[in-house]
Structure formats: C-alpha cells, structure tokens
C-alpha cells in the first residue's frame, strides 16, 4: 500500500499528511507491505469468514425482515493505548455520574430539588418511568451496560455523541470482527501488540451473576430477547452462547404469586435470578407498561420491585439517554462527583428553550437536528445536506414538538482508510465502546468501529449503508518488539 | 464457561443446568431435520444409481421417491408428470417443498440458531457453512452429472455435524433430545423405505426377474445397509432377510430396532420420561413379536402403517411431556 494519493476531508485516524500518527506506525508499516491486490484477497477472505460464521444483522423492510451478512471492512481502525486509557477513564466517570443520577432521580430526586435539571425536562421525557420510583436495584446501579457513541471532530477532539443506556447493541460484532481479523491478518498479530477484546462475555457474566438476589446459589441467568425477528437477534444468540446462559423469550417466563420469575423447563419451573433484558421498557411487562405487548412477561415489574429478580439494565434507565438529558450530563458529573468532565460532550441546543430554539431555527443549515428519543439514526436532519423541503419540514416539527428536538453543530467525523472498489479511500467512522458498571467498572478495549461506506456520508448505522471495522488498541511502546508474553501485557483479562 | 460468582460452591453442576422447553423442542427438531436432509439425499442418490443399472423397461420410475417421502400430493399440485428432473428438483432443492433437502437444512439451521447456547459454536459454524454451500451449489443437485456428488456432499456434511455434536457438546439433556430426534426420524425413514420399496418388490419380484437382487440391494443401500447386511447375513439377498435386517438387527444403527434402543437409552437420561418410555417400549415389543417371514408373504404394508402411526404418536407424547407445558401445569408442579 502506498499513501501518495490518499486524502481525508478532515481528521484521519491513521495518517497525518501521509505519515503515520503516533501509535499507528506499526500498522502503517504492516499495510505498506501489502499490495492492493493482496489487501483485496484478505477482504474476500474476511467476507467468506463472515458468511461461514453466520454473522448477520436483520434489516426491516416493508414486506419482510432480511437477514444480511454483516458488512465488514478489512482494514482495522487503530487507537493508541495512551489515548484509549484517557477515554476509558472519561467513560467510567461519565457512567458513574449517570448511575448516581438515575439512583437519585428514582428515589430522593435531589437533582430536581437542587435545580440541576428542570423538573419539566424529566417529566417530559418519554423514557421517564414513574413505575420505577422507589425501586432499589442491587448496588444502586441502574445502567449496567452502556454503549456510548464517540466521534472525533476535524480538530481531533473526541466527543461523546450519545449514551445508549436502554438496550445497546453491537458488542457481538466487536467480538466477531476480531475473530475475522485473526483469521485474515494473523501475521500482523505477531508483530503488533494488539489488546485482546474477548474478555467481555466473561466480565458481563460476572456482572450479571453478582446481581443475583440469592447469593450463595449458582444463579440462573437468562437473556430476554424479543425473538428471532429482532434486528439484534444474532447478538442475543451469540452472547448467550459466549456466556453459557439461557436465551429466553417472554413466553418462556412466568411470574408466580410468590413474585418470583420462573423459566419453563423440561423439568418444570426453574427460578430465574437475573434477566439481561434486550427488550425495551415499554414491552417488558404488559401489566405495568404497554398492555398490548406480546413479547413481555406479565408481572415482571412486580417481581423486580419485590427484589426477587434482577434486571439489567434496570427499567427506567432510558431517561438518561434522552437527548435533552444528554445536554445536562456534564453538569451531572460536576454535581455528583465534584469533577470536571474529562470527555467532551457535543454542544447541544434544546429546542424547548425559546432563546436556544431561535438560534437553531436561524442556523438550521449548519445544524444536525435529532428527535430526543430515537435510536438507530432514524429521524436525523443534517443541515448542510438537507433540501429546502426537508428544512421546512424540520422547522414545522420543531415548532410542533420543541421538547422532542435537540440541535448540535455538525461534527465532521474523522475518517479511516477503507477498501473501496479500486483503491483505499477515506471514509467517516465513529466508535462505540461498551462500559460495564458493576462492582468494578470495565470498558472494552476500543469498541465497535462503524464506518459510513458511501463516500462523504456521515451515517454509520448498519441499517443505513454503514459497515464496520475491527478496532485495534495498540501499545506503540512495544510495537517494534516481538510479541511479549501474555503475563506482561496490560490487556483485558 | 459458567463462572462462580460466590464463595459458596454450588452443588453438583448437572442439576443446575436448566433446559427450556422451547429449547428442548428446537434441539429435537434440529436432530430430526438434519437426519431428514441426510436420509433424503441418500435416497435420491441410491435411486439415481439404481436407474443407471436398470434397463428402462423395468425401471421403477421416479414416483416411488415421492411416495417414500410422502410428497406425492404436494408434488402433483405443482407438476403434471413425475419426470426425473422435476422429482429430484422438488425433493432436493425446492424451497416451496418443506420436506426438501434444502428446506430441511434451512429448518435445522433456523432451529440451531435459536438454541446456540446449548450447542458448541463449532456446530453453528459448520451448519451455517453447510447451508450456505447447499444454497450456492443447489443447481448441481438436479443435473445427473453433478447429482451424485452433491448428494454425497450433503451426506458427508451431515456426518460431520453428527460427529461434531457427539465430540464437542456435553452429553446432557439437550444432547438426549438431539439423539431422540435423530433416531426417531431415522426409524421413520427406514420404515418409509420399507413401506414403499419393499412392498413393491415383494409383490412384483417375478416381473423383476434377474434384477430383483440389485433392486433389493438398492433398498438396503437407501439406508446404507448394503455392506453391513452382507457382513451380518452372508452372501445372497432374500426379501425376508433384508426385511428382518432393516427392522430387527440389534447392531446396525439404522435398523428400526437399533433406533428404538437409542431412543430408550436417551429417554432414561431425561426427567419425567415415564410416558414416552412407555410409548417406546410398546414399539419395541411390537417389533420383537413380529413374524418377519409371514409379513414378507403378506400384510407388510398394513403392519408398517401401524408402526408408523405409533412412531408419530411417540413424537406427540414427547411434545406433551416436555415441549407444550402450559403455565397452569407449570405452576402446579412448582
């Protein structure tokens, strides 16, 4: 690979003016030894591996759900250990504050009494659950598993774009991407000191097991899935296999009059201790939330409130990933921890505030406007790329529902070299690390890098033409040395 | 993989591993569908080989394949005549035929996909790759040039999966359901082959004349019994002896007797197995008391029909005992 004609419209993760960034030297050197044809061979091998391993995601269309091969770009995205350590610390700080906030909000609500967040912001959030007030989940932790989206602007600043606190997905792809690159880039693993990522399922299992309301007894843990039609079903099945827990659907579970949750097994009912739920709050329990939910378990909230079963993430966590509440997270960090946030949040204008709304409406062409409670990249307005009609439409929607819209400046999104048809080109990427909040916080080494495969596109969601890359956190201090023994590593186990 | 979250060591592991009713059912069907794919592929291969040996005038045609697989009705709803290409295409790769090799693999894959936690990941990768291969190469299944190789490919990959499951998955309750599913399907297929092929042969052996032997051998080979038959029964082939071998041989893994033995042994591993055990025992005693010589000279078809009804009833009993446990009865036993 030669980089003579490689250019990035902004900040590139690997190169600066054709030279390797700090920490990326080993990777650039390794790629330099490969011709474009060899790289393409490895891409084909990777695509074959993705197919054989059955790594898929489901796309909803009008007529049916399609199971598609997971789109994967063979060139890994590289981060240095030094930078990652700082980001990792910042994420732990952030989640610590968010969990303190959730625990406070659903008990004493001092945060509202002290005026840190206006009461109407919380009460206006569709993800605030009055049903959770007074609940006391184990260890005071509500958001056990979080997938935060990080983006880097053209000046190199890394921002937290959003925290996914309800049912974040993608970690299975992070793990499988690594399996794929091990197959096709085994030679590079010999020369670069790449932090392993496969400790995650073990950590997640330990976190879930520690939540059991019956300490001393081997807990029965289930992952509660909406079922085979869900877009993340691959991940649900994969994680249960990796953790050795049960994959359950709502109809496999029943809550008895003793408020305990039971699993329908071939030997009769078996008590469930911990539920890793991958179902949205509103569908979790038709007796507490949407009565028309067919995928939930009637009585589950009753069992949870009685302390007979642990649920991760706890119901009600979604209030903290409301995009309006997001704007207050730096303030929450100061309020609960007395610290300055070490990771930047994207400046956010709240449309329910009249002054801020006027600013947004006057500068729509430079703004990204988001609905407060959507995920998956749906409903996002990107000012610089919008047509006149789209601009008019978003203006009407903001005026109709100001509480449900926030606006942010356009973040250019950094790029990473990506194999395109006949050459390697810069494509925009983001990064979703996963943060586990239990007795000991844990952050994945790197995370899932998503890449917008269309030239110029900033949309990285797999449902909308996005792909993914393996993410290598490399320790440049040992980059030139042969692989050191596992014991000497600072890796994740 | 299951870690120990507490200081207090929990009791013996086996008692702690729960098996969901829904998962048990999916595992059972994974076993059945994989066996079905293998059996049908072998049947199509052996029948094709028989055609290569026989002169056109005495050939059995292709409709017996539809009869064995119980697909005649579905086939004739779509096709006017049972030509070679259409019958093979229908039974091997037609996605609209739920009993085709390809559909069986798709169903096995769909079932395994929902139960990945009880299988080793190698099984998922192998079955997934197998299905992709079958899908990609499906055109080779119909044409005579590629057909035998394709059918062999299916059979071998099924053996690979059987071996993988035997070799890397714990022989726990889930494995018992897998074995029950596989052997129930296998017993069913052996009786189907006998039902159709043997019945025709026994009634028309005079017309077949010099070809009776190779036709009987073909029946045996439909369930890979050719070589083991010779080893066990000695040289020549008689209809009654072939029948006895396929029904009652205690050692051949595709005889009905052997399948029932494996089912009974697997059921012993499972909790609450009294009812399915009784169903299996009833089948075993019926087999034991059968006079194969008499059946060969008349009444085989009727007797086999009864046997198949009992096999289907055993599958229903399994459902009632393990798979369809309603919440009322669930909580009553709590």
Q: Kindly report each contact of residues A304-308 with a partner whose C-beta sits within 8 Å and lies 24 or more positions away, as own/partner.
A: A304/A135, A305/A134, A305/A135, A306/A259, A307/A136, A307/A213, A308/A213, A308/A258, A308/A259, A308/A260, A308/A261
One domain for residues B49 and B193: no
Domain contains B194: yes
**A276 pLDDT exceeds 50?**
yes
B196 vs A100, which has greater pLDDT?
A100
- Residue of chain A minimizing CA distance to B25: A266
Instruction: Give tens-digit pLDDT for B95-124.
Output: 999 999 999 999 999 999 989 889 988 999
Last residue of a domain, one of B169, B198, B225: B169
Q: Which fold has domain A214-308?
A: Rossmann fold (3.40.50)
Residues B231 and B129 in one domain: no
Give the separation between CA A101 and CA A99, rounded to whole angstroms.
Answer: 5
Nearest one of A415, A473, A416 to A444, comparing CA atoms: A473
**Do B26 and B123 belong to one domain?**
yes
Please, what is the end-to-end C-alpha distance for chain A in angstroms? 34
Is the CB of residue A125 less than 8 Å from the CB of residue A325? yes
Burial class of B327 by CB neighbour count within 10 A (0 to 12, 13 to 18, 19+)? middle
Tokens for A197, please give them: 């990522």
CB atoms near residue B314 (< 10 Å):
25
Rounded to whole angstroms, how far apart are CA atoms A229 and A214? 33
Low-confidence ranges of chain B (pLDDT < 50): 1-14, 327-334
| Residue B308 structural domain | 171-324
Residues of chain A in contact with residue B330, where contact means CB-CB under 8 angstroms, are 254, 262, 264, 268-269
Run of H or E including A247 = strand A246-249
**Is residue A154 within 8 Å of A348, Cβ to Cβ?**
no
pTM of the predicted model, to two decimals? 0.87
CB B181 within 8 Å of CB B31:
yes
Contacts of B132 in chain A (CB under 8 A): 51-52
Residues in a beta bridge with A16: A19
Residue A71 phi/psi, 5-degree rounding, is: -75, 130
Judge whether B55 is closer than 8 Å to chain A, CB to CB.
Answer: no
Looking at the fold, whether B150 and B40 belong to one and the same domain comes out as yes
- B170 and chain A in contact, CB less than 8 A: no
Segment A423-439 shows an average pLDDT of: 96
Residue B15 lies in a domain: no
Q: Is residue B185 domain-shared with residue B195, that is, in the same domain?
A: yes
Closest A-chain CA to B125:
A53
What's the pLDDT at A385?
86
| CA B232 vs CA B225, B228, B260: distances in Å | 10, 6, 20
Q: Does B23 touch chain A (CB under 8 A)?
A: yes
Last residue of a domain, one of B169, B193, B215: B169
Do the strands A442-443 and A415-419 form a parallel or antiparallel pair, or are they unpaired? Answer: unpaired
Domain residues of chain A, as ranges? Answer: 214-308
Q: Are residues B189 and B83 in the same domain?
A: no
Alpha-carbon gap: B97 to the closest alpha carbon of chain A (Å):
20
* Domain annotation covers residue B8: no
Residues B51 and B84 in one domain: yes
CB B246 within 8 A of CB B223: yes
pLDDT of B168 = 92
Cβ–Cβ of A264/B24 closer than 8 Å?
no
DSSP string, A76-105: EEEEEHHHHHHHHHHHHHHHHHHHHHHHHH
Closest Cα in chain A to B126: A52
Cα atoms found within 13 Å of the Cα of residue A58, Cβ hemisphere only: 15
Residue B3 domain-assigned?
A: no
Of the three residues B139, B169, B199, the one that is the final residue of a domain is B169
B147 and B219 part of one domain: no
pLDDT tens sequence across A15-37: 998 899 988 988 999 899 999 99
Distance CA B223, CA B188 (A): 12
Find chain B residues with C-beta within 8 A of A251's C-beta. 22
Q: Going along A322-446, which residue ranges are E strands? A: 344-345, 349-350, 367-371, 381-382, 405-409, 415-419, 424-432, 434-436, 442-443
Peptide bond into A313 cis (omega under 30): yes
Nearest chain B residue to A240 by CA: give it: B117
pLDDT value of position A488: 35
Bridge-based pairing state of the strands A424-432 and A434-436: unpaired
Q: Å from A172 to nearest chain B CA? A: 14
Residues of chain B contacting A51 with CB distance shorter than 8 Å: 128-129, 132
Q: Is residue B5 domain-resident?
A: no
Q: Identify which of B244, B246, B321, B326 has the alpha carbon closest to the alpha carbon of residue B278.
A: B321
Q: Give the nearest partner residue to A220 out of B18, B132, B173, using CB atoms.
A: B18
The verdict on B163 and B189 lying in the same domain is no
Q: Report how far apart, in Å, the C-alpha atoms of B323 and of each of B18, B27, B116, B144, B238 are.
A: 14, 11, 18, 42, 43
Closest residue on chain B to A254 (Cα)? B327
pLDDT > 50? residue A271: yes
Residue B10, token pair as written in the block: 């929990």
How high does pLDDT run on average in chain A?
Answer: 90
My answer on whether B175 and B320 are in the same domain is yes
**Sign, Cα dihedral of B18, B23, B28, B32:** negative
Contact by Cβ (8 Å): A159, A410: no
For residue A452, pLDDT beyond 80: yes
Q: Cβ contacts (< 8 Å) between A69 and chain B: which residues?
A: none
Residue B289, chain A, CB below 8 Å: the answer is: no
Q: Cβ distance A451 to A428 under 8 Å?
A: yes
In this complex, the residue of A217, A263, A266 whose CB is nearest that of residue B322 is A266
According to the model, what pLDDT value does residue A2 have? Answer: 80
Q: Are residues B164 and B176 located together in one domain of the fold?
A: no
Predicted pLDDT at B212: 74
Same domain, B134 and B244: no
**Residue A229: CA count within 13 A, CB half-sphere:** 6
pLDDT band per the 50, 70, 90 thresholds, residue A425:
very high
CB contact under 8 A, A220 and B115: no
Q: CB–CB of A235/A170 below 8 Å?
A: yes
pLDDT confidence bin for A376, thresholds 50/70/90:
low
Mean pLDDT of A484-492: 36
Answer yes or no: are the C-beta atoms of B307 and B288 closer than 8 Å.
no
**Residue B249 pLDDT:** 94
Give residue for tokens 């939910």. A293
| Domains in chain B, number | 2
Query: How far is Cα B67 from Cα A147, in angstroms, rounded to an integer?
Result: 55
Any residues with CB less than 8 A from the CB of B288 and at least 6 apart, and which?
Answer: B248
Measured CA to CA, the distance from residue A128 to residue A317 in angstroms comes to 8
Smallest CA–CA distance from B127 into chain A, residue: A52
- List of residues 6+ apart from A302 with CB closer than 8 A: A255, A259, A285, A287, A288
């Amino acid at each position: 690979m030669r980089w003579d004609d490689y250019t990035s419209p902004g900040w590139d993760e690997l190169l600066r003016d054709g030279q390797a960034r700090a920490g990326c030297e080993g990777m650039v050197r390794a790629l330099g030894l490969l011709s474009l044809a060899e790289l393409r061979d490895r891409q084909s091998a990777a695509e074959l591996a993705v197919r054989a391993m059955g790594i898929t995601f489901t796309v909803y269309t009008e007529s049916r759900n399609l199971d598609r091969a997971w789109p994967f770009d063979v060139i890994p995205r590289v981060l240095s250990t030094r930078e990652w350590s700082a980001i990792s610390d910042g994420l732990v700080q952030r989640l610590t504050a968010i969990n303190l906030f959730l625990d406070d909000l659903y008990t004493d609500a001092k945060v509202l009494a002290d005026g840190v967040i206006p009461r109407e912001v919380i009460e206006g959030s569709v993800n605030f659950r009055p049903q959770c007030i007074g609940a006391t989940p184990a260890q005071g932790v509500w958001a056990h598993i979080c997938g935060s989206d990080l983006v880097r602007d053209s000046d190199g600043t890394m921002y937290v774009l959003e925290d996914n606190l309800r049912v974040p997905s993608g970690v299975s792809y992070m793990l499988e991407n690594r399996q794929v690159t091990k197959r096709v880039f085994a030679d590079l693993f010999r020369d670069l000191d790449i932090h392993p990522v496969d400790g995650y399922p073990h950590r997640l299992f330990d976190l879930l097991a520690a939540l059991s309301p019956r300490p001393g007894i081997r807990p029965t843990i289930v992952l509660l899935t909406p079922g085979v039609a869900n877009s993340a079903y691959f991940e649900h099945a994969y994680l249960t296999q990796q953790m050795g827990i049960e994959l359950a659907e709502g109809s496999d579970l029943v809550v008895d009059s003793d408020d305990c949750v039971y699993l329908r097994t071939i030997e009769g009912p078996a008590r469930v201790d911990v539920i890793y739920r991958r179902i949205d709050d509103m569908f979790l329990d038709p007796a507490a939330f949407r009565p028309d939910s067919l995928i939930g378990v009637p009585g589950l909230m009753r069992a949870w409130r009685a302390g007979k079963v642990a649920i991760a993430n706890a119901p009600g966590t979604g209030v903290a990933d409301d995009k309006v509440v997001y704007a207050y997270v730096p303030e929450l960090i100061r309020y609960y921890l007395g610290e300055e946030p070490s990771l930047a949040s994207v400046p956010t204008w709240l449309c329910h505030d009249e002054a801020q709304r006027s600013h947004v409406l006057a500068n729509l062409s430079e703004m990204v406007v988001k609905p407060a409670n959507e995920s998956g990249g749906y409903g996002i307005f990107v000012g610089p790329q919008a047509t006149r009609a789209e601009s008019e439409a978003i203006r009407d929607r903001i005026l109709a529902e100001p509480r449900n819209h926030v606006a942010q400046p356009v973040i250019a999104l950094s790029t990473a070299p990506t194999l395109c048809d006949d050459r390697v080109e810069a494509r925009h990427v983001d990064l979703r690390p996963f943060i586990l909040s239990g007795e000991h916080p844990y952050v994945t080494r790197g995370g899932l890098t998503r890449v917008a495969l269309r030239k110029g596109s900033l949309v990285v969601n797999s449902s909308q033409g996005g792909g993914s890359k393996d993410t290598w956190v490399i320790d440049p201090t040992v980059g030139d040395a042969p692989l050191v023994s596992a014991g000497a590593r600072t890796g994740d186990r | 993989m299951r870690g120990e979250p507490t200081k207090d060591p929990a009791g013996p592991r086996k008692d702690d591993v729960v098996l969901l009713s829904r998962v048990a059912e999916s595992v059972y069907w994974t076993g059945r569908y994989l066996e079905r794919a293998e059996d049908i592929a072998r049947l199509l291969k052996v029948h094709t080989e028989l055609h290569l040996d026989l002169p056109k005038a005495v050939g059995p045609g292709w409709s017996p394949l539809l009869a064995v697989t119980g697909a005649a009705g579905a086939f004739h709803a779509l096709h006017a005549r049972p030509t070679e290409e259409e019958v093979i295409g229908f039974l091997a790769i037609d996605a609209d035929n739920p009993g085709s090799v390809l559909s069986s693999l798709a169903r096995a894959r769909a079932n395994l996909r929902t139960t990945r936690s009880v299988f080793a990941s190698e099984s998922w990768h192998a079955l997934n790759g197998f299905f992709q291969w079958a899908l990609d190469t499906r055109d080779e299944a119909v044409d005579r040039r590629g057909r035998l190789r394709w059918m062999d490919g299916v059979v071998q990959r099924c053996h690979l999966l059987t071996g993988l499951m035997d070799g890397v998955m714990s022989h726990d309750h889930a494995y018992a359901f897998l074995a029950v599913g596989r052997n129930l399907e296998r017993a069913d297929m052996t009786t189907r082959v006998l039902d159709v092929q043997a019945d025709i042969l026994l009634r028309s052996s005079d017309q077949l004349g010099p070809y009776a032997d190779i036709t009987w051998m073909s029946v045996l080979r439909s369930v890979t019994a050719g070589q083991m038959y010779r080893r066990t029964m000695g040289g020549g082939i008689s209809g009654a002896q072939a029948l006895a071998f396929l029904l009652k041989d205690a050692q051949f893994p595709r005889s009905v007797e052997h399948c029932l033995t494996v089912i009974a042994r697997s059921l012993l591993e499972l909790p609450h197995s009294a009812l399915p055990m009784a169903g299996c025992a009833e089948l075993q005693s019926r087999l034991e008391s059968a006079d194969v010589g008499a059946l060969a000279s008349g009444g085989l078809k009727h007797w086999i029909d009864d046997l198949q009804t009992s096999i289907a009833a055993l599958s229903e009993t399994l459902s009632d005992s393990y798979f369809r446990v309603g919440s009322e009865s669930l909580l009553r036993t709590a």
